[in-house]
Amino acid sequence: MIFLFRHLRFSMVCLLCIFSSVSAHAAITVKDDIGSMVSLNSPARRIVSLAPHATENLFAAGAGADVVGVVSYSDYPPEAGRIRRVGDSNNLDLEAIIALRPDLIVAWDSGNAKPQVEKLRQLGLKIYVSEPRRFEDVAVNIESLGRLAGTETVARRAAAAFRAEYARLRNQYAERRPVSVFFQIWNRPLMTISGTQMIGDVIRLCGGTNIFAGLPALSPEVNIEAVLAADPQTIIVSSAGEKRAPWLDEWRRWPQLQAVKKRGRLLAIRPDLITRPTPRILEGARLMCEQLDQVRSSIPSQPAFNPDNR
C-alpha cells in the first residue's frame, strides 16, 4: 500500500512537471514597437488588425487565416477584403472588436485613436502595437507577428526574403549621387514626411535627400514658401489609384523650381506601395529608385576640384 501511494505521488509530481514544462514552452513573449512586452499563453487564433499595413504583415507572417477583423482599406492581399470590418483606423468600432473575442489585437501607434486603444487594453485584451519606421522594423514586425501566431517558419522566410531584397536595393542605389526630394502626401493642407517616417527611409535608400528630413513630426504641414526656399530637384507625390494626382501639376505655377524647369521631375507613386510599411514597400522603393535615377541622369555632374584651376 505504501509502495502504491509513493508510486502515485511520484506519478503526480511527474505530471505536474510535464504540464509546467508545456505551459512554459507555450508562453510567447515579444516586444512591440513602443517597447511594451506582449505575452500570450498560446498562439493567437483570433486576431484583429487595426491598420491596413498590420493586415498585410499578418498575412506575410502566415497568420492570415487567423485574422477575424480588419479596418477599412485593408485590401491586400485580396483575401483581406472578405474579413469583417471593425471601423476605420482612426475611428474604431469597439463593440464589433469586442464581439469578435480576439486573443490578439494589432494596433497602429500613429494611426489609431489612442483613447480607443487604451479602452481595449483596459478590458484586458492583448495588444501588439505596430509602428515600423525603418526597413528592418518591417522584418522584425513580421517575425514578431509570426511568433505570436505560431507561424514562425513562414514568418522567418518572409523576413529573410525582405532583408535580402532590401540589401540588394541598398547596394545598388544608396551610394549614388544625391538628389533633393520633396515628397508630398497631401495638398490642402500641404503635407510632407520627415526623416523619421518610413518614406524617409525609402528616400535615403535610393540616394535621395529629403528636404524636410529634420522636422520633428512624422507627417508635418509645410508651406509653399518653405518648398520654394529649399528648391528640390524633384517632387514626388503619393497619388490615389493608378491616376496621377491633379495637384502634382499645380507646381508648374512656380517655374523657377528645379523640379519644374526640367521635364520628368514631377513624379508619382501609388500610395499603397510607398505609404504602407509592409513587404510591398520594396516595390515602391524600387520604383522610387528608378525615378530618382532618371532625375539624376538629367542633372549635370559637378566637375572634380582641380587645385591648378584656382
Enumerate domains of the chain plus CATH numbers: 27-161 (3.40.50.1980), 174-297 (3.40.50.1980)
pLDDT tens digit sequence for 238-275: 876 555 677 888 999 999 999 999 988 999 999 999 99
The pLDDT of residue 134 is above 90: yes
Residues 277, 53: contact at Cβ < 8 Å? yes
The pLDDT of residue 202 is above 90: yes
Global confidence as pTM? 0.86
Higher per-residue pLDDT: 248 or 147: 147
CA angle in degrees (0–180, nearest 5) for 120-124-127: 60
Neighbouring-strand partners of residue 129: 107
